[in-house]
Structure 1
């Protein structure tokens, strides 16, 4: 069961991250079917090359109301109707779970649904944040309805756990599944539906025990669309392009976002960054929380210091990562600084057998 659930998860992850051209006939047929389910005639379709293009383009012949702009998407009338349609189907399918042993359902939720939800947050949703020019969490909006995780969950229940859907439930579920397999994101309005093509390149790395992935590419965009819209990411963190293409000590010094600055320094390498930036070593000491490793405390900027340490856990490639943590400038003792990052005193940190 666990292996079969993992295979289904990987199958749906493959569809979610696909860079194949959209199957436009299949997508339009499935979306038209969903329109019929809410009592509307099939829309006219307007295809675009990326989510950015989708939100920046007004389909030909459409006169938008003030409430139908991208900035007020939460007020659009159709997305809530489709989301309600999805939730109703989920409630019906959940009722079928009385035939499924509880541990079996929990396993599928963990190995399939939760894993794919985390993968979507770490990869697919980044393109939407770029399109909306914001970092707010999109998982509970209309985009959550389109997330492949719930589709894969119920697909695994019927294929791996033997849950039986009625013919009507299967018909409705297969419409959602067909959309998830055939195109990128879509934005429904009455009479017209805007649909995005898939990206032409996606670069990810595995970041979890259940196959979770996140965007990462050290040499260029982690996600790229045919129109040039791209997303740069460093180990799952969305970053400006310079962090990947031209990390520079002076740019890092001007950067106000702590996470962006951290990613840029990691790309250069903490040791190289310290050398290039000419940071002054304040003090060093053996790391009591990580025997065999050393803690090094440097001056970084006014009222800030950086603690250079070695990760207590082994990375997937077998190495221990060297990393830096910014700490208040009043620290002179690296052990006290290390303890502060854990909410401990220097004495308490010194008693740790090994940190992770």
Structure 2
């Protein structure tokens, strides 16, 4: 079952990451059918090139505008429609052997939700920064995680669904398979085209992905809107294109600064920034490797260490951690990052 669960998860993740052209007729037909399920006639459709454009202009003929999008009633209506179907399907799951249900929940639902939070939600929040969290919860509804979960329960665990339940699931699946994000209004439904490029990396034990691309935007749409990311952290373009020492020094955001240093490389950064080596010591938490402590600023030092676990490419990542300036011993500094004393850190079998 574990192998089948992983295959189902990858199939649905592929839908979410797809850069294939949208199937407008299929998307409009499925969304229209969902409108009928909440008692409304099919809407007019307003297609946009990216999520950034979705709320930037008022669709022709729409009463709603981006300024009052929190008052749009239909996202809540469709979310309730989804929840009613989920409750019905959950009633069918009770007889499944509990370890199997837990395995599917972890490897499919939880994994895809983690990917959503890491790879899919950040661009939406950037594009719609003025929208309240109440409206942002709509994005859980068209995302594939809940559909993949019930698909896995049916296909891998044999949970039976009625013909009516299958039909409703098929409508949500058709939308997820045909287009990108969508925003339902009373008269007009706004639908976004898919991105033209998506770059991710696997970072979790259950196939979770996050945005990452070292050589350009991790996410790019046909209208030119894009997003740069370094191992899941959203960064400005200069971090990847020109991580110069002066820019790093002037960057107020600690995470962006860390990403820029990693992009440049800790060795070149230390050399170009002229950091003074304070002390070195064997790493008791990672036998065979060394800890190096450098002065960074008057009240800050940086501890350079080697990751205790091997990356997916077979290498061990070198990374730096900022520590308080009063620390003078690398082992003390390593213990401080774990909330431990040097003696306690030295007793660790191996850190990760």
1:147-166 paired onto structure 2 within 5 Å: 147-166=143-162
The runs of 5 or more residues in structure 2 that have no matched partner are none
2:119 corresponds to 1:123: yes
Tell me the distance in 2 between the aligned counterparts of 1:139 and 1:155.
27
Conserved? CA contact 1:298–1:305, under 8 Å: yes
* Distance apart, 1:135 and its partner CA: 11
The structure-2 alpha-carbon separation of the partners of 1:135 and 1:290, relative to structure 1 and needing over 3 Å to count, comes to farther
1:1-356 paired onto structure 2 within 5 Å: 1-64=1-64, 68-69=65-66, 73-133=69-129, 141-356=137-352
Tell me the distance in 1 between the aligned counterparts of 2:242 and 2:202.
25
Q: Which TM-score applies when normalising by structure 2?
A: 0.96
The runs of 5 or more residues in structure 1 that have no matched partner are none
Tell me the distance in 1 between the aligned counterparts of 2:44 and 2:142.
20
* Distance apart, 1:138 and its partner CA: 9.0
The structure-2 alpha-carbon separation of the partners of 1:125 and 1:230, relative to structure 1 and needing over 3 Å to count, comes to same
Secondary structure class of the residue paired with 1:232: strand
Tell me the distance in 2 between the aligned counterparts of 1:310 and 1:29.
54
Secondary structure class of the residue paired with 2:14: helix
The structure-2 alpha-carbon separation of the partners of 1:134 and 1:109, relative to structure 1 and needing over 3 Å to count, comes to farther
Tell me the distance in 1 between the aligned counterparts of 2:123 and 2:334.
36
Conserved? CA contact 2:70–2:134, under 8 Å: no
CA displacement, residues 123-176 of structure 1 (integer Å, 9 cap, x when unaligned): 122220220237998997000111100001111111222111111111111111
* Distance apart, 1:232 and its partner CA: 0.6
* Distance apart, 1:188 and its partner CA: 0.7
Conserved? CA contact 2:240–2:263, under 8 Å: yes
Conserved? CA contact 1:244–1:264, under 8 Å: yes
Tell me the distance in 2 between the aligned counterparts of 1:262 and 1:113.
31
The structure-2 alpha-carbon separation of the partners of 1:82 and 1:98, relative to structure 1 and needing over 3 Å to count, comes to same
Conserved? CA contact 1:129–1:136, under 8 Å: no
Conserved? CA contact 1:252–1:265, under 8 Å: yes
Conserved? CA contact 2:17–2:198, under 8 Å: yes
